[in-house]
Amino acid sequence: MIQTKINLPKGYRLDLNFIKRRGSDVPKSLLPKLNDVLNKRKGNIISRYFRHVFEHNNIKKVFGVNMAILAFGTSLIPSNVSIMDDYQDYSSYLTQSPLVFKTETGVQYPVEKVSITQGYKFYHPGIDLDGITGDEIKPIISGVVYGVFYSRVGYGNHVLINHGNNVYSLYAHLSKIKVNTGDEVTKDSIIGEMGATGRAFGDHLHLEIYENGKRIDPLSILVKYGPENRN
């Protein structure tokens, strides 16, 4: 530090202090020098290197701006829309059913001509059956219509059927629905027609099956209890 005093008219004096700027105030390079990394005692050399990068003021500013943009963007998304999954999840309110149905032999595919275009995966909790708008859709087995839903997103127009013993089936992207909530249906009932409503790329039926409140691969039931896959 350098001090300088200047005498002014009687009763006044000017003191000037010149202080050398601290090294921490000098702008740091985004990429550190090797000596700076080696001089830090804590952590291995790789962690010390990246600690320097992510503690840099410019990096903090960039992350701060991006986080603000992200927070603003997510605030514009409706709370009832999921950006992670295009499909709803009914498992939270599918409960044990006391319904008892007459014994039937086997489980059928819901379409006449079976062509599976997409199988069951963790990001696609069902199977897709190919067809054209207007193809008749039937239940995989008898039951009672648990719910009828009309929507322009997600499943589109879809029907949920309760088969008893805590087994449900869901039929999505229908162009038309021909049943109402509470209707009893058999394997011969036409519950709707194939379409491409909701989030669908081309005409097809999206079929899901729930057992004990969890989605399962429909083929585990259709292949095990139903007729062989017909192409």
78-136 pLDDT, tens digit per residue, is: 333 332 345 677 877 676 555 444 445 579 999 999 999 999 998 899 999 999 999 99
- Under 8 Å between Cβ of 191 and 171: yes
In a 3-state reduction of DSSP, which class is residue 56?
coil
Question: CA end-to-end span of the chain, whole Å?
Answer: 90
* Confidence bin at 7 (pLDDT 50/70/90): low
**CB of 194 closer than 8 Å to CB of 131:** yes
Asked whether the CA dihedral 164, 194, 192, 227 is positive or negative, the reply is negative
Q: Which residue has the higher pLDDT, 94 or 200?
A: 200
Residues 6+ apart with CB under 8 A from 102: 142
In the three-class reduction of DSSP (H, G, I as helix; E, B as strand; rest coil), residue 181 is classed as coil
Q: What is the DSSP letter of 91?
A: G
Q: What is the pTM of this model?
A: 0.59
pLDDT value at position 85? 45
Residues 116 and 131: beta-carbon distance below 8 Å: no
Phi, psi angle pair for 94, to nearest 5°: -90, 110
Give the helix ranges, DSSP H, for 76-174.
Answer: none
- Token pair for 15: 């003191």
> How many Cβ atoms from other residues are within 10 Å of residue 51's Cβ?
15
11-20, 22-31, 67-76: range with lowest mean pLDDT: 67-76
The pLDDT of residue 91 is 76
Q: How confident is the model at residue 31 (pLDDT cuts 50, 70, 90)?
A: low
- Write out the residue limits of the CATH 2.70.70.10 domain(s) in the chain: 91-225
The number of C-alpha atoms within 13 Å of 121 and in the hemisphere containing its C-beta is 7
Helix (H, G, I), strand (E, B) or coil at 57: helix
By DSSP bridging, strand 204-211 and strand 214-216 are antiparallel
Average pLDDT, the chain: 75
Is 3 within 8 Å of 15 (Cβ atoms)?
yes
Biggest distance spanned by C-alpha atoms of the chain = 116
Question: Residue 70 and residue 98: Cα distance in Å, rounded?
Answer: 47
Domain 91-225 has CATH 2.70.70.10: yes
Secondary structure element (H or E) that encloses residue 71, with its range: helix 57-75
Token output for 145: 């219509």
Locus of tokens 């999921």: 82
Q: What's the half-sphere exposure (Cβ side, CA atoms, 13 Å) at 143? A: 26
